[in-house]
Amino acid sequence: MKNSKNVIIILAVIFITGMFTKACGDEFLTRPAMGSLSEDVVADRNGVETLLIGAYGALSQTGNQGWGDGLPGDGAWAVCPSNWLYGSVLGTEAHKGSDAGDQPQMNTLGGMNVSPSTGFINLKWRGLYEGIARANSVLSVLPDVPISEGVFSEADKARIEAEARFLRGHFYFELKRFYNNVPWIDETVDALTPQPNDQDIWPNIEADFQFAYNNLPAVQGHAGRPNSWAAASYLAKTYMYQQKFSEAKALYDQIIPNGNTSNGLAYDLVPLDQVHNPVNKNNAESVFAIQASADDGTGTIQNANPGMMLNYPYNSPFRCCGFYQPTLYLVNSFQTVDGKPLINDFLSTPVKNDLGVLSSENFEPYGGALDPRLDWTVGRRGVPFHDWGPHPGQRWVRDQAYSGPYASKKHIWWQKDDQDVNNPSQWAPGTSYNIPIIRFADVLLMAAEAEIETGNLSQALQYINRVRERAADESAWVKNEFNRGYAFEIVNSEAEMLALEPTSGSWVVREDTGTTFVYLGGGATDITNWNEYSEPNYNIALYDDLGNQQQAREIVRFERKLELALEGHRYFDMVRWGVAEEEINEYMDYEGDFFPASYINEGQFTPNKNEYFPIPQRQIDLSTVGGTPALQQNTGY
């Protein structure tokens, strides 16, 4: 009995001592984080450079693809930095595409029915602020990196700061024109605490670009980094969005004659067939572009424009997914009379199209005069789709009756370059096409606008004509010979052609007629089973004068449409000019008649509301502390 008591006491003492001894096992329990670095490890020269690359990595705005379940990095198409959805689909240039049931949130957006809880606008918000957070990481680590001669100079430090601020300026520029009222978070602000969106951040954006302009070199070691001229161009664009035309003009007066690209090419317009060609990227026209790589060795398309992955003809060599189909409204804009666009009358005599015509049926393309830029912008039946053959029409379209007959084309690569610029590793294609944020034609047309607004129409005329002159260069027009490369056969006579054994859809180039024939099926020996396509009728001329200031405005705005179509600008331009209500509702009225089942038919632009997207409800909820949200909703929502 006594023995037992002693046992209990001894055990209890051991136990209680152990229970309150922190030391026991502490070493055993200290386990490092695996596969990551702590902040002090990245706070050196190499670390800050690598953080800076990480900030560039945010430009493409994508991590993994998904169905937009609100997880970080999901919904590549919701956050695509080309703004194809927000700038072009919402901006009258393209249908969402595919069929009615696919990506219904895009229908909501396209019909101007966006609500604060539409998931896409939350993804866009999160993606842009991630870019800002990465730029801020660079800026907060940078002061800790010691200056040491020959290793890390003040100039290095200034350049890194300037690049980071340029990138931050870019992300904020997007936020500003999207949501208008957004909180400014820089490296000095606590990002974990909700911040209000009650300040106009244009001055902050200007300050970032101004710093970048002052501190970036004119030539960079890497083509993907912005230089001082890119910063100047973005600063000027920032002025344009604020109607600060004389400030913008002053910059353009410097940029246009003196500017050069980051890789040292004097700014210039390149031939029409080279502007968007990924094998000729970072050319003289590229002011600032988001770099992409198809052949990056990752086995994914994450660095190869994942946000554009849906935007290729369906049932085609591109496989997926039939989104982003240009509108009749856009195509009609490319009609010309005497080489000039029908700025106020382009809807009265529409361009003929193949709506409702099967690919196996004969179709005679539109024969009227067109701006040659149309066929570098839009894929349409019978016109060479680069060297992929004449666009077959309905066969490459998922639901023609819903989204029209056309395909968008600027991001399409050539078949001959397929090995170099296409990444086929996933269910939809990737490409090394660079997304142009600012290109020199855009600079010239913005400069023209600034000149018009400041009253100098003759300088504006020069700028506009410079853009049109490039388009007028016949040597870079779409040509029948594009069909030769992958033709089923090149023949010299009809007899020779009728003796072939093609499968339906095969195309044959005829030397004798200078045209291309597509076999429609039903018997190759019968000439009626062949559809003949000749080169379209292009006609473009320079302006002699711009008329009065109002006419000049209309000309330059229409010229932007023709030159920059499907590059994600139009919606923001229309809002900036204050014409969005008029133009978008005109478009919806017109286009809706052709597509009764589309969201367009019921769509409506509401002034004092649709100029900006709503602040995502999720973000308002997350900013709520003690029942009071730090973020205020935009008007109209």
Least CB distance to other proteins at residue 111 (A) = 10
Task: Work out how close the CB of 58 gets to other proteins at its nearest, in angstroms, rounded to a whole number.
Answer: 7
Tokens representing residue 190 in the block: 């606590």
Residue 247, judged by CB atoms within 10 A of its CB (0-12, 13-18, 19+), counts as middle
Give me the least distance between CB of 50 and other proteins, in Å please.
Answer: 5
d(CA 561, CA 307): 22
Cβ at position 130, least distance to other proteins in Å: 4
**CB contact at 8 A, 255 and 232:** yes
Q: Give the Cα separation of 605 and 588 in Å (integer).
A: 9
Distance CA 60, CA 305 (A): 7
Reported as half-sphere exposure (CB side, CA atoms, 13 A), residue 198 has a value of 6
Q: CA-based diameter of the chain, in Å? A: 119
Q: How far is the CB of 214 from other proteins (least distance, A)?
A: 22
Q: Which is nearer to other proteins, 314 or 517 (CB)?
A: 314
Nearer to other proteins, 257 or 626 (CB): 626
Residue 310, helix vs strand vs coil: coil
Smaller CB separation from other proteins, 257 or 299: 299
Q: Is 279 or 469 the residue whose CB approaches other proteins more closely?
A: 279
Nearer to other proteins by Cβ, of 150 and 297: the residue is 297
HEC profile for 512-543?
A: CCCEEEEECCCCCCCHHHEEEECCCCECCCCC
Nearer to other proteins, 3 or 348 (CB): 3
Q: Give the span between the Cα atoms of 512 and 509, in whole angstroms.
A: 9
Task: Tell me if 178 sits within 8 A of 632, measured CB to CB.
Answer: no
> Toward other proteins, which CB reaches closer, 186 or 364?
186
Residues 308 and 72: beta-carbon distance below 8 Å: no
Q: Go through 302-329 and write b for each residue having 16 or more CB atoms within 10 A of its CB, e for each that does not.
A: bbbbbbbbbbbbbebebbbbbbbbbbbb
Least distance between other proteins and beta carbon 362 (Å): 16
* Residues 6+ positions from 596 with CB-CB distance below 8 Å: none
Smallest gap, in angstroms, from Cβ of residue 278 to other proteins? 11
Characterise 322 by phi-psi region: left (phi > 0), alpha (psi -120 to 50), beta (else): left
Residue 248 or 290 with smaller CB distance to other proteins = 290
Q: Which residue number, 332 or 617, has a Cβ lying nearer to other proteins?
A: 617
Instruction: Compute the least distance from the CB of residue 602 to other proteins, in Å.
Output: 8
Residue 223 or residue 467: which is nearer to other proteins going by CB?
223
Min. distance of Cβ 267 from other proteins in angstroms? Answer: 17
Give, in order, the Cα–Cα distances in Å from 131 to each of 124, 164, 370, 609, 611. Answer: 11, 10, 41, 27, 24
CB of 215 to other proteins, least distance (A): 18
304: tokens are: 């190869």
